Amino acid sequence: MDIRQRLATNLRRLRLEKGWSQEEFADQAGIHRTYVSDIERGARNPTITVVERLARPLGMSPSELLA
């Protein structure tokens, strides 16, 4: 699995574990909902700074989100 797909799978799983919609999560991460949707489909190649923003509301490190 390539790294974009790994991020996609992890993000979707962790967001759903929190019971958050994409929109709720996007608001917390400070990222547009469509961008979250694209990342969860593996359709984006985000920078490490974006990964840091995704990880924060999940209470995880960027490294864990890519593991």
If one counts every other C-beta atom within 10 angstroms of the C-beta of residue 1, the result is 9
Binding of residue 3 to its own copies (CB under 8 A): yes
User: Given the complex with its own copies, which of 24 and 44 has the nearer CB atom?
Assistant: 44
Decide if residue 16 touches its own copies (CB under 8 A): no
Q: Is 66 in the site for its own copies (CB under 8 A)?
A: yes
Question: Considering the rule CB under 8 A, would residue 47 count as an interface residue with its own copies?
Answer: yes
- Say whether 21 sits in a helix, a strand or coil: coil
Q: How far apart are CA 15 and CA 2, in angstroms?
A: 20
C-alpha 44: how far from chain center: 11
Residues forming the site for its own copies (CB under 8 A): 2-4, 7, 45-49, 51-52, 61-64, 66-67
